[in-house]
Amino acid sequence: MKKENRMNLSKKIVVTAAVGFFTSFSFAQSVQDGINFVDSQKYAKAKQNYTDLINQNPKEASNYFYLGNTYLTQFDPNFDLAQESFNKGLAADPKSNLNKLGLASVKLGKGDKSAVAEIQQIVKDSREKDAEVLFRAGEALTLFEKNSSPDLAIGFLNKAVERAGKAGVPANYYYALGDAYRIKKDPGNAMTAYDKAEAVAKNKASVYTRKGTLWIAAQQWQQAKTNIDKAIAVDPTYAPAYKALAGFNIKYQKNAEATQNLINYTKYADEDPYTQLEIAKLYFTNEDYANAKTTLDSVFDKVNDPIKHKLRAYILYGEGKYAEAQQSISTFLSQADKSRVQASDEGLQGLIAAGLAKDEKDAAKKAQLEATVQQKIAIAKNAKDETLKWDEELAKIKGGLVGITADAGGTSPEIDALKAKVAANAQDTDALYKLAQAYQDIKNWNGAILTWQKMIALLPTWEPAYYSQGYAYQQAGSQELASAAYQKYIDTLMAKPAADQEANKETMSYAYFAIAFIAKDSDKEKAKANIAKSLALNPTYADALALQKALGQ
């Protein structure tokens, strides 16, 4: 997840100051401890480490930089506390290039592109003699992806590597170089930089985790999993590896595994409130709203950052509590700096408006809310934001499916046994199929819908799952979603060989009929077109003939 996009898998999985080793006297071992803590995403310990250093030697300006930089590199940057620390560093030493870079980084993080020129000037003033200044300048230009300058960063980082060469290049110099290439969308050079880091890093888990997330970005799942597993094997306490593994499992919709990964991540990271906020976000992404809420509630009063209100808005939205979600997102927008408002925030407002419009009785207010829906969701989609699947979420709202669970619809001994099998192996498609059928047998339509969705995630080209999900949606009263599922069944089947289409033409005829039946009152032309397709496949289909007659054909 990059820092600018709250719900996506953050780039902070990989983009942090990393484990390295320093032979220069300019770095005391306690500074190295802080760097190690940041790399392990133990931000509270890092902050305490640097605070202790400052208390021991208040005149050492660089310690203020490392404390401030920790506030910048945590999951949600705290610009105010970072700036405060950098200013204290400059008070201790007005010539401190590191703290000057820190202040420029704050400006860049807030969207002020003039900071790029400031960073260049600071490097120029340093005469490029200090490898750490060169490194931190390059790092600053990669911290905030929307405001990054990867080419300039790569230039500074290569110079930092060259300058540090005689004393030994720290691993984090190579990590930052790899991160810059990633932003530039040059995975080959990024992997080369990580390979160089592997040669010098004391903690190989750091390298393997970065390689794993690079493979995830390239959608090379086997290589991704292999590297993440290697990271955990060499250091079972390395928290970022579990976060990366959670991201991997979330993509596969392996919710139970992802939850266990997040439990391990929580165990091995620390209780820094901002880390807990990130964990709550990941629980939300994993559709584990109970754990998301519990985690957020545990730190809500410990964090002053308005980001907490945004996260609460997402959780309340996930629970279908639209009015409360609206209050929370409004609080975030009123308190947050404008630079921190993302396209996803606009999209969320649109979804909340859709939820409010669904039950609004006043025609004028309803129309206003629906206009907001279209405007706000368009902003998110035009920005290619993927925090949520905007069209799917909108359809879920219209179908009354936001916040649904299988639990409320009842169970049976057969369902309980099959749920246990699925929990033991989330990729057991036979068990999933039988579970969906078992839910349908007792008319637990929400359970069936959710189970068919898991089947679709595992077998996206197996068209019967779409047809079955359409039927479950229809029985649950979610007509728009049912129509979309039936159409997906048709589209998936039409992409297969003619022999498959011929073998399934009767079922396809039923699907066309279902779409026509759903559209008959709202869109007669659509209904007529689909009933014609239904009868072309099955000319004696009595229900289709009756509907055709009712439509006046």
Predicted local confidence at residue 358, as pLDDT? 85
pTM flag (> 0.75): no
Asked whether the beta carbons of 293 and 315 are under 8 A apart, the reply is yes
Q: At 126, which amino acid appears?
A: S
Distance CA 1, CA 286 (A): 14
Which phi and psi (to 5°) does residue 58 adopt? -65, -15
For residues 296 and 281, the answer to whether their CB atoms sit within 8 Å is: no
Output the pLDDT for position 403: 62
The residue to which tokens 């509630």 are assigned: 297
CB atoms within 10 A of CB 271: 14
What residues have CB less than 8 Å from 311, skipping those under 6 apart?
6, 277, 280, 281, 284, 292, 296
Region of 384 please: left (phi>0), alpha (psi -120 to 50) or beta. Answer: left
pLDDT of amino acid 26: 40
Task: Output the six-digit token pair for 243.
Answer: 């976060």
* Chain CA centroid to CA 264, Å: 18
How crowded is the C-beta side of 58, counted as CA atoms within 13 Å?
3
* d(C-alpha 99, C-alpha 101), whole Å: 5
Counting beta carbons within 10 angstroms of the beta carbon of residue 424, is it exposed (0 to 12), middle (13 to 18) or buried (19 or more)?
exposed
Q: Give residue 480's pLDDT.
A: 83
Q: What is the DSSP string of 131-146?
A: HHHHHHHHHHHHHSGG
Q: Using alpha carbons only, how large is the chain's radius of gyration in Å? A: 27
What is the distance of C-alpha 477 from the center of its chain?
31
Calpha distance 360→34 (Å, rounded): 53
- 506 vs 237: CA distance, rounded Å: 56
Q: What is the 3-state secondary structure (H, E, C) of 299-346?
A: HHHHCCCCHHHHHHHHHHHHCCCHHHHHHHHHHHHHHCCHHHCCHHHH
Pairwise CA distance, residues 212 & 198, whole Å: 13
CA–CA distance, 38 with 247 (Å, rounded to integer)? 20
- pLDDT at res. 3: 36
Backbone angles phi, psi at 186, to 5 degrees: -125, 75
pLDDT score recorded for residue 399:
66
Q: What sign results for the dihedral spanned by CA atoms 175, 156, 69, 108?
A: negative
Instruction: Specify the pLDDT at position 398.
Output: 73
Please say whether the beta carbons of 142 and 111 come within 8 A.
Answer: no
What is the DSSP code string of 245-298?
A: HHHHHHHTT-HHHHHHHHHHHHHHS---HHHHHHHHHHHHHTT-HHHHHHHHHH
If one counts every other C-beta atom within 10 angstroms of the C-beta of residue 483, the result is 24
Tens digits of residue pLDDT in 341-364: 889 999 999 999 999 998 899 999
Confidence (pLDDT) at 402: 65
Could you list the pLDDT tens digit for every one of the 553 residues in the chain?
333 333 333 333 333 333 333 333 344 448 889 998 999 999 999 999 999 999 999 999 999 999 999 999 998 888 999 999 999 999 999 999 999 999 999 999 999 999 999 999 999 999 999 999 999 999 999 999 888 999 999 999 999 999 997 778 999 999 999 999 999 999 999 999 999 999 999 889 999 999 999 998 888 888 999 999 999 999 999 999 999 999 888 877 677 788 889 889 988 988 788 788 888 888 887 777 888 889 899 889 888 888 899 989 999 998 889 999 999 999 999 998 887 888 999 999 999 999 999 889 999 999 999 999 999 999 999 998 888 888 878 877 876 666 667 777 789 999 999 999 988 887 789 999 999 999 999 999 989 998 998 888 788 899 999 999 999 999 988 888 899 899 999 999 999 999 999 999 999 999 999 999 999 998 999 999 999 999 999 999 999 999 999 988 7
8 A C-beta contact, residue 544 and residue 534: yes
Distance CA 131, CA 26 (A): 11
